[in-house]
Amino acid sequence: MVYPARPYKPAQPGPVHSHRLSLPSPTALPLLRFPASIAIPSSTSRATQAAMEDGGARAAAVQKLMAAKAKSGKSFSDIGAETGLTNVYVAQLLRRQAQLKPDTAAALRAAIPALTEDLVELMMQPPFRSYNPKMVHEPAIYRLNEAIMHFGESIKAIINEDFGDGIMSAIDFYCTVDKVKGADGKDRVVLTFDGKYLPHTEQKAANMMSKLPCKAP
């Protein structure tokens, strides 16, 4: 059987549907309120902030700082003993991971004579604290990370048991690395974390400063 060919009819364009994203009006958006006491310090200029965030400039500064330390012939622990700082904090200062305080500047310059005025001034600027994620591949750092992760759950349980529901601060914090002899006479690494206990806050609305009426300056 032969079927007759059907005449060709071009498809008719259908209705165009417009999908519009409905956005709330500006008046419907929540208003962020900050206490009048919060202000951005003007002492840190944009140029200074940009310099702190420049990885290349930071690397160059760290290279100069470490060269000055090498010229002194002293270890981090030696410099710590002369300045009254922990050996880890000395290392943090020279790696631009901590801020040199004015009261400590003179002692650090005495301990590391090769430090120039420009380097000391740079060290007194608030640093842009950061780290390279790739450094976890370094075995010494990887093992530290592994130890914290492996023992972390038990450490947390003891913190909760002895202190309550909270954490150890890494800002109000002291850290040292010490070398001792074990019972077998072999060298052992003693790593000390000494951090302030910070309890988790019960979030009572009455204590939120942002909920209080804003006062005119």
Any idea which residues carry the catalytic annotation?
143, 146, 169
What's the CA gap between 170 and 168, in Å, rounded? 7
pLDDT band at 103 (very low <50, low <70, confident <90, very high): very high
**Alpha-carbon 44 to chain mean position:** 18
Q: Which residue from 130, 95, 125 is spatially nearest to 87, judged by alpha carbons? A: 95
Question: Across all residues in the chain, what is the average pLDDT?
Answer: 83
Q: Which residue has the higher pLDDT, 133 or 4?
A: 133
For the segment 133-141, the average pLDDT, to the nearest whole number, is 92
Do 48-123 and 163-200 come out as alike in CATH topology? no
Q: What is the pLDDT of residue 181?
A: 97
Q: What is the DSSP string of 169-181?
A: EEEEEEEEEEEEE
Cα torsion angle, 206, 208, 213, 217, sign:
positive
pLDDT band at 148 (very low <50, low <70, confident <90, very high): very high
pLDDT tens digits, one per residue of 29-55: 444 444 444 344 444 455 555 544 567
Q: What is the pLDDT of residue 34?
A: 40
Q: What is the rounded end-to-end Cα distance, in angstroms, of the chain? A: 95
Q: What is the pLDDT of residue 211?
A: 75
Tokens linked to 39: 């202000």
Instruction: Choose the weakest-confidence range: 20-29, 55-64, 105-114, 118-127.
Output: 20-29
The domains of the chain are located at: 48-123, 134-162, 163-200
Determine which helix (DSSP H) or strand (DSSP E) holds 125, and give its type and residue range. Answer: none
The answer to whether 184 and 164 are in contact (CB under 8 A) is no
> CATH topology for 163-200?
Cyanate Lyase; Chain: A, domain 2 (3.30.1160)
Q: What is the pLDDT of residue 217?
A: 65
Q: Which residue from 102, 113, 104, 43 is spatially nearest to 73, judged by alpha carbons? A: 113
Q: What is the pLDDT of residue 35?
A: 45
What's the CA gap between 106 and 104, in Å, rounded? 6
Q: What is the pLDDT of residue 53?
A: 52
- 0.85 surpassed by pTM: no
SS3 73: coil
Q: What is the pLDDT of residue 30?
A: 47
Q: What is the pLDDT of residue 164?
A: 98
Q: What is the pLDDT of residue 209?
A: 84
Residue 214 reports pLDDT greater than 80: no
The answer to whether 96 and 60 are in contact (CB under 8 A) is no
Tabulate helix, strand, coil % of the chain (nearest 5): 45, 15, 40
Mention the CATH class of domain 48-123.
mainly alpha
Residue 111 reports pLDDT greater than 70: yes
What's the CA gap between 203 and 28, in Å, rounded? 26
